[in-house]
Amino acid sequence: MAGSSAANATGPASGFSDLTGAGIGNLTEGQAGPGQNADAAAIPEYVVAGNWRKNADGTWQFEAGGRSYASEWAAIHNPYADPAKGQSTFDWFRFDADGRMVNGWYTDVDGNTYYLWKEMDGTQGRMLTGWNCREAMECFIVTIFRKNLME
């Protein structure tokens, strides 16, 4: 898919940080997520659809177009998101050198810091930006910290 290389080549630091939603669902160990079943008109061309796999240690990996994602960002379709709850069907995800989805705080080699959602609510691993709410009265703001912002 053409979006595959574009998605991981640009990454969130390139201006796509306003995307919201998406993540990883709660599958059982070793179970693969659905394949490319997204409505093509509903997601942008740069978004990749593929298969999520939950490892025995509870981490997640993603494969699409005959390859696994590692040491990169990718805008990915999330078949586990629940649009009825306001969750988007795609977002940015980060994968470590072993191909495991990153969650929590992540700082890249340039000093940019991002927050990747940790909760198992169908959106785990998505990059957060701006205002985010977990419950009606529990909201917080996430800012992407860029080391070179003031340079």
Residue 141 pLDDT level (bands cut at 50, 70, 90): low
Confidence of residue 109 (pLDDT cuts 50, 70, 90): very high
Does the structure show a pLDDT above 60 at 8? no
Q: Residue 125: pLDDT above 60?
A: yes
* Residue range 43-78, pLDDT digits in tens: 899 999 999 999 999 999 999 999 999 999 999 999
| pTM for this predicted structure | 0.66
E strand or H helix at 9, and its extent? Answer: helix 2-10
Query: What pLDDT is recorded for position 144?
Result: 59
Q: Tell me, what's the pLDDT at 145?
A: 54
Instruction: Decide which of 5 and 73 is more confident.
Output: 73
Max Cα–Cα distance, the chain, nearest Å: 46
Q: What is the DSSP letter of 32?
A: B
Instruction: Look over the chain and give the mean of its residue pLDDT values, rounded to a whole number.
Output: 73
